[in-house]
Chain A
Amino acid sequence: KNQVEQSPQSLIILEGKNCTLQCNYTVSPFSNLRWYKQDTGRGPVSLTIMTFSENTKSNGRYTATLDADTKQSSLHITASQLSDSASYICVCYYNNNDMRFGAGTRLTVKP
């Protein structure tokens, strides 16, 4: 069954700390994986895309990893800021155009 599971469901950290969000998937055949950030009251916005051949990709303070063997991806946020408070959604694409969304991780950064 094609599924995407994210953990933790929610996370609270202090400003300036680092954190890592996890995404495990079972979709097949895997095409690529995208992380979205969704601020409260807004639609999701793409942070980064991970293709099958990529292991690590950075976008500012965000670093995504992909292990295609274990079917796991992570999103690491360094030196968190209050503006990082949002939901982070992992989306896996398979069969070229099919996609499956994770339920998201709700991150709260406190001062």
Chain B
Amino acid sequence: DVKVTQSLRYLVKRTGEKVFLECVQDMDHENMFWYRQDPGLGLRLIYFSYDVKMKEKGDIPEGYSVSREKKERFSLILESASTNQTSMYLCASRGWGEYYNEQFFGPGTRLTVL
């Protein structure tokens, strides 16, 4: 089974602090994604990566950056957290050969910025 791991389930930070969220997948997938999920808005794509050291902006990249130094690891960085970045953050991965674009999601990290 594909496993996507987000080691932090809950995180509380203060405004202005740097936040580092890490995602690891064990299926050798080429594509990895970061989403935020807010009530009534659904999942919104922040950034994605289709290869090591490659990144592409999603729908809401402002205030975020990402890093992909190794194939299995995709990190989301908030350089200076703000209260409007309080949200659930979900990571996903997908292989090029996956049946009709199926993405596999991690359990999510609930971030609260005070």
B102 at the interface (CB under 8 A from A): yes
Knowing A41-B107, A41-B108 touch, does A46 contact B42 (C-beta < 8 A)?
A: no
Contacts of B108 in A (CB 8 A): 41-43
CA A45 to CA B106, docked complex, whole Å:
10
- Interface residues in chain A, defined as those with a beta carbon under 8 Å from any beta carbon in chain B: 9, 31-32, 34, 41-46, 49, 51, 89, 93, 97, 99, 101-104
Knowing A41-B108, A42-B108, A43-B90 touch, does A89 contact B102 (C-beta < 8 A)?
A: no
- Interface residues in chain B, defined as those with a beta carbon under 8 Å from any beta carbon in chain A: 4, 9, 40-45, 90, 92, 99-103, 105-108
CA A13 to CA B3, docked complex, whole Å:
32
CA A46 to CA B99, docked complex, whole Å:
11
Q: Is the interface of B mostly helix, strand, loop or mixed?
A: mixed
Q: Is the CB of B101 within 8 A of A101?
A: no
Knowing A42-B107, A103-B40 touch, does A51 contact B100 (C-beta < 8 A)?
A: yes
Contacts of B107 in A (CB 8 A): 41-43
CA A110 to CA B103, docked complex, whole Å:
30
CA A31 to CA B102, docked complex, whole Å:
13
